[in-house]
Structure 1
Amino acid sequence: MRIRTLLVALMALIASSLAVAADYYVDITNRTGYTIYYMYVSPGSSKSWEEDLLGSDVLMNGDTQRVTLTGYTNPYFDIRLVDEDNDSYTFWNVNVAAEDIIVTLDHLD
């Protein structure tokens, strides 16, 4: 009986360690010809956008911004950028563990 209880506890511990949160990052390069004022990154499973990650900063044309995403268990994120003309560029279900983003006018919503 004790061995069975120990095995159940061990299996629960292993299962919980598989869902451990990880840190991810994505490099976003602006090649739109415009300044980007807002950057929203949300988990792919989210139904709303999280806070603007640029805050009072901007992403000038030609610049790259590294975004660190901590505490998530899945590398898939939705990314929305908004430029100085209020045009938006949205990338859905991006695997940030495998790819970075280069934003061009081809990505205009």
Structure 2
Amino acid sequence: MRLPTSRQGALALAFIAGLSGQALAQGQGNPSFNLVNRSGQTIEQAYASSAQQSTWGRDLLGNDVLQNGGTFAVRLPAGQCTNDIRVVYEGGRSEERRGVDTCRTNEVVFGQAGQGQGQRGADGKRGGAAQPGRSGNPSFNLVNRTNKTISVLRASPASDSNWGEDRLGNATVAPGGRFAIRLPAGECNYDVRVEYENRSAEEVHGVDLCSVSDVTFPDRG
């Protein structure tokens, strides 16, 4: 039996490697998708992150907005199939889709018939505001209207005896800025605490986060 020449062997190995890489990519899945706005409103912010992560990450739109009827291509790492998606409309109202298998769809539509455009419910679909003591979606936008930078944000159910982790991580929120805070679906009644760079702090207690989109400091309530 004749062995292949070095050139033939190299070509054969390259061909096999190409097939293996293609099979691996197919096995991992392609989670990238088109975000489609059919809400009748302008989307000002968009987030997409793995359902296993505890933070939303950066605003994918950056300085752009997504007008009604528009489409925006969202690129995600190969293999990251199960994702949570959040949009914030002009005026501050937000809407979410949780646990979406984006490897099985080319589009994620907000405002599509049969899907929610009202206040957030437990699964991000249309529904009335959740009442304290009932389950819902407590994620919110932290809005800083002080003249100080917020360096720490803690939010925990009002029934808890401790504040828990800093939900900003390494981020800060400058005066006039906002930051999307991601919380697990379930409990609605929360206490929220911010700490400023000058080490002063401010708290609000007993907030029904399932019925609001923004929590603003300083608190005017």
Q: Tell me if both proteins adopt one fold, taking TM over 0.5 as the criterion.
A: yes
Match of 1:44 in 2: 51
CA distance in 1, matches of 2:86, 2:34: 14
111, 116, 131: which one pairs with 1:106? 116
Distance 1:22 1:98, change over 3 A: closer
Q: CA RMSD in A?
A: 2.0
From the two aligned structures, give the one with the greater helix fraction: 1
Distance 1:97 1:73, change over 3 A: closer
Match of 1:4 in 2: none
2:42–2:68 Cα contact (<8 Å) kept:
yes
- 1:54-93 aligned at under 5 Å gives the runs 54-70=61-77, 72-93=78-99
Runs of 4+ in structure 1 off by over 4 angstroms are 20-23
Indicate the structure (1 or 2) with the bigger Cα radius of gyration.
2
CA distance in 2, matches of 1:67, 1:83: 17
TM (norm. structure 2) is 0.38
2:44–2:89 Cα contact (<8 Å) kept:
yes
CA distance in 2, matches of 1:107, 1:50: 23
CA distance in 1, matches of 2:61, 2:98: 19
* Residues 63-89 of structure 1: CA deviation (Å, up to 9, x unaligned): 01110112x533010000000011111
- What is the DSSP-based 3-state SS (H/G/I as helix, E as strand, rest coil) of the residue aligned with 2:116? helix
The one of the two structures with greater contact order (alpha-carbon pairs below 8 A, sep at least 6) is 1
TM (norm. structure 1) is 0.73
53, 57, 75: which one pairs with 2:60? 53
2:51–2:84 Cα contact (<8 Å) kept:
yes
